C-alpha cells in the first residue's frame, strides 16, 4: 500500500477508535501501524541514516563497516561477522550491537540507544527477509574511490578561500572540490553522502572544512573534513532536506548552520553534540554567522528577517532587521560579519546589500530600522552572496537577474561602488575575497569559477572546477 493511503487509513482508524472510546486511543486495541511488511527504504534507512551512517559510510568506516550501501550493510565489518542474516535476527551482529542492556547499547557508539520501536522494526525487517526496496535513483553511486563523472559543469553555490591563502573550496555535485587558490589546479575531491552542497567553509585556521547540504527530500547533512588528510572527521544528518550556511566560531570548535525546518543549530565539533537550537524564524534559514567573540549567532531567512541569539543560553535576543510590517522586501540569502566589528552585511531578494549593527542601543520603536547603518547601491535582481575583505575595508556582492549575473565591489566606509563586473552568461550565486584582498572568486549557474582581479575587475581565469567528460549531455541540473 502506498504511504499516503496508509497514513489516511491510520488517521481514519484512530479517529474511529477515538469516537468509540476516547480512553483507548493509545491503548492495546489500536492496531499497530506496521502490519504491512517493513520497508527497508521507508522504515529502516532513515533510522540508520540518522543514527549510524555518520560513522559507517565510505568516507568514514567505523569498524571497517559501511552501512550506506545495502550489500555492505548486510556483509558487516572487520569482525567478519555477518551483520544481517536474512530471516534470522538472533544471529545478525547488527541486532546484537543495538540491543539494550542496563539502558546501554554498544551502538550507536557514544550516544543514546535506539528506541524500542526502532529496534523492533529492524528486528522485524530482518525476520521478514531483509529485502532491499531502495529505488534505483536513490542508491548511493559515488564515494572517494568512485567520484562523480560530469557531463556539464555543476551549478556552483559556494566558494571560499582558506585564510592561509592555499586553497579555494568550490561546491560540486556530491562533493566539494579544493583547488589551489591561484587556480593552478585541483588539490582534492571530498566526496560525501550529500548530493547537493549548499556551503563549504574553512575553519579560521584553515585546517578543517565545514560543509552543509543534503539530498533533497531525504536528508540534511553537516560534514567536517580534515583538509590536509582529505578525511571526513564528522558527518551528521538533520531532518529530511538540505541545510544551509555553515559558519565557524573563532576558536574553530563550534559550527553553526541553518535548516529548512526554520531552526538555527550549532554543533560542537570535538564532541559532535548539538550545543545550540532555536526556531525563532518562520521560514528556511539560509545563512548564519558568529559575532566577533562567538558568543552570539546571527541568522538570515527567507522570512526576510535577520535574527540575533545568545549561544550559551540558546535564546533569541532580537530582530536585527526592522519589525515594521511591510518594511522588509524579500527573503535574505546571505550574511557575513565585519572581521573585527559586530557589524553585519546582508544580501537578499531586494538586491540591496545592507549593513546592520548587531546590538541595538536604543529602545525599539515601530517604524524604525534602527540597526541599519548603511545601504549600498542596489544591484540588478537578487543578491545571493555577500562577503567582506579580510581587512574589512571592502565588500563584494554577487547577484542574479533572470539568467544574467553581476559582481560588485564596494567601499565599506562610504558605500561607494569601486568595481562592477557584468557576467551576462550566468547568474552569480557565490563570491569571496582571497585573504590578501587582491582576488575575488565568483561562480554560479554556469558552473565556471571566475578569478577576478579586485583592483579593476579583470577576469584572470575562468574554469570549471571539475573535469567535463562530454559537453553534449547536460546532467545534474
Q: Rule CB under 6 A: which residues touch ligand HEC? A: 51-52, 54-56, 62-63, 65, 76-79, 81, 83, 93-94, 97-98, 107-111, 114
Q: Closer to ligand HEC at the Cβ: 115 or 475?
A: 115
Shortest spacing between CB 267 and ligand HEC, in angstroms: 13
Shortest spacing between CB 268 and ligand HEC, in angstroms: 14
Shortest spacing between CB 274 and ligand HEC, in angstroms: 14
> Max alpha carbon distance in the chain (Å)?
77
CA nearest 159: which of 459, 444, 467? 444
Cα–Cα distance for residue pair 208/226, rounded to 1 Å = 5
CB atoms within 10 A of CB 78: 10
Cα–Cα distance for residue pair 35/178, rounded to 1 Å = 49
Q: Closer to ligand HEC at the Cβ: 108 or 331?
A: 108
- Please check whether residue 179 is in contact with residue 449, taking contact to mean a CB–CB distance below 8 angstroms: yes
Q: Closer to ligand HEC at the Cβ: 63 or 239?
A: 63
Cα–Cα distance for residue pair 252/314, rounded to 1 Å = 19
Q: Closer to ligand HEC at the Cβ: 193 or 286?
A: 193
- Please check whether residue 48 is in contact with residue 40, taking contact to mean a CB–CB distance below 8 angstroms: no
CA nearest 219: which of 195, 192, 200? 195
Cα–Cα distance for residue pair 441/220, rounded to 1 Å = 26
Q: Which cell goes with 41?
A: 527504504
Residue with cell 522588509: 328
Task: Evaluate the CA torsion angle 346, 352, 353, 354 in order and state its sign.
Answer: negative
Distances (CA, A) of 168 to 202, 257, 431: 9, 20, 11
Q: Closer to ligand HEC at the Cβ: 110 or 116?
A: 110
Shortest spacing between CB 144 and ligand HEC, in angstroms: 18
Q: Please report, in angstroms and rounded to a whole number, the separation of the first and last CA atoms in the chain.
A: 32
Shortest spacing between CB 67 and ligand HEC, in angstroms: 7
Q: Which cell goes with 171?
A: 561546491
Cα–Cα distance for residue pair 385/157, rounded to 1 Å = 9
Q: How far is CA 119 from the centre of its chain?
A: 29
Shortest spacing between CB 76 and ligand HEC, in angstroms: 4
Shortest spacing between CB 125 and ligand HEC, in angstroms: 12
Q: How far is CA 200 from the centre of its chain?
A: 9
Identify whether 108 is preceded by a cis peptide bond (ω within 30 of 0). Answer: yes
Shortest spacing between CB 333 and ligand HEC, in angstroms: 33
Cα–Cα distance for residue pair 89/78, rounded to 1 Å = 19
Q: Closer to ligand HEC at the Cβ: 94 or 379?
A: 94
CB atoms within 10 A of CB 81: 15
Cα–Cα distance for residue pair 31/11, rounded to 1 Å = 12
Shortest spacing between CB 291 and ligand HEC, in angstroms: 30
Shortest spacing between CB 115 and ligand HEC, in angstroms: 11
Q: Closer to ligand HEC at the Cβ: 114 or 344?
A: 114
Q: Which cell goes with 223?
A: 560534514
Shortest spacing between CB 172 and ligand HEC, in angstroms: 26
Q: Closer to ligand HEC at the Cβ: 113 or 153?
A: 113
Q: Closer to ligand HEC at the Cβ: 74 or 379?
A: 74
Q: Closer to ligand HEC at the Cβ: 40 or 448?
A: 40
Q: Closer to ligand HEC at the Cβ: 71 or 361?
A: 71
Amino acid at each position: 500500500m502506498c504511504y499516503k493511503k496508509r497514513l489516511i487509513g491510520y488517521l481514519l482508524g484512530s479517529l474511529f477508535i477515538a469516537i468509540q472510546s476516547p480512553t483507548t486511543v493509545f491503548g492495546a486495541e489500536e492496531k499497530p501501524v506496521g502490519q504491512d511488511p517493513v520497508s527497508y527504504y521507508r522504515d529502516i534507512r532513515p533510522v540508520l541514516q540518522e543514527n549510524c551512517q555518520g560513522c559507517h559510510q565510505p568516507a568514514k568506516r567505523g569498524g571497517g563497516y559501511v552501512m550506506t550501501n545495502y550489500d555492505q550493510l548486510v556483509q558487516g565489518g572487520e569482525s567478519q561477522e555477518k551483520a544481517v542474516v536474512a530471516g534470522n535476527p538472533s544471529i545478525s551482529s547488527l541486532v546484537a550491537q543495538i540491543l539494550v542492556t542496563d539502558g546501554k547499547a554498544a551502538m550507536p557508539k557514544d550516544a543514546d540507544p535506539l528506541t524500542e520501536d526502532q529496534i523492533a522494526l529492524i528486528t522485524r525487517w530482518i525476520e521478514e527477509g531483509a529485502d532491499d526496496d531502495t529505488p534505483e535513483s536513490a542508491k548511493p553511486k559515488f564515494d572517494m574511490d568512485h567520484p562523480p563523472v560530469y557531463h556539464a559543469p555543476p551549478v556552483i553555490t559556494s566558494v571560499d578561500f582558506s585564510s592561509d591563502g592555499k586553497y579555494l573550496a568550490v561546491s560540486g555535485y556530491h562533493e566539494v572540490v579544493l583547488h589551489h587558490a591561484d587556480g593552478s589546479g585541483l588539490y582534492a575531491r571530498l566526496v560525501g553522502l550529500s548530493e547537493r552542497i549548499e556551503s563549504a567553509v574553512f575553519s579560521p585556521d584553515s585546517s578543517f572544512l565545514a560543509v552543509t547540504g543534503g539530498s533533497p527530500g531525504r536528508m540534511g547533512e553537516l560534514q567536517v573534513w580534515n583538509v590536509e588528510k582529505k578525511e571526513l572527521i564528522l558527518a551528521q544528518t538533520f531532518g529530511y532536506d538540505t541545510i544551509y550556511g555553515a559558519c565557524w566560531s573563532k576558536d574553530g570548535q563550534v559550527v553553526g548552520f541553518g535548516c529548512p525546518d526554520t531552526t538555527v543549530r550549532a554543533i560542537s565539533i570535538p564532541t559532535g553534540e548539538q550545543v545550540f537550537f532555536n526556531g525563532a524564524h518562520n521560514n528556511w534559514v539560509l545563512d548564519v554567522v558568529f559575532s566577533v567573540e562567538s558568543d552570539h549567532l546571527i541568522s538570515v531567512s527567507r522570512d526576510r528577517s535577520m535574527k540575533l541569539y545568545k549561544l550559551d543560553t540558546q535564546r533569541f535576543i532580537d530582530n536585527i532587521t526592522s519589525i515594521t510590517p511591510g518594511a522588509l522586501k524579500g527573503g535574505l540569502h546571505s550574511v557575513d560579519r565585519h572581521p573585527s566589528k559586530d557589524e553585519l552585511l546582508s544580501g537578499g531578494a531586494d538586491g540591496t546589500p545592507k549593513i546592520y549593527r548587531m546590538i541595538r542601543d536604543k529602545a525599539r520603536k515601530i517604524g524604525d530600522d534602527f540597526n541599519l547603518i548603511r545601504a549600498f547601491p542596489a544591484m540588478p535582481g537578487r543578491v545571493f552572496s555577500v562577503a567582506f575583505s579580510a581587512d574589512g575595508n571592502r565588500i563584494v556582492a554577487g547577484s542574479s537577474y533572470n539568467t544574467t549575473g553581476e559582481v560588485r565591489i564596494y567601499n565599506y566606509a562610504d558605500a561607494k561602488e569601486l568595481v562592477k563586473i557584468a557576467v551576462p552568461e550566468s547568474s552569480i550565486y557565490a563570491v569571496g575575497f582571497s585573504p590578501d584582498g587582491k582576488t575575488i572568486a565568483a561562480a554560479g549557474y554556469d558552473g565556471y569559477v571566475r578569478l577576478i582581479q579586485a583592483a579593476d575587475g579583470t577576469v584572470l581565469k575562468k574554469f570549471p572546477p571539475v573535469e567535463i567528460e562530454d559537453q553534449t549531455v547536460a546532467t545534474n541540473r
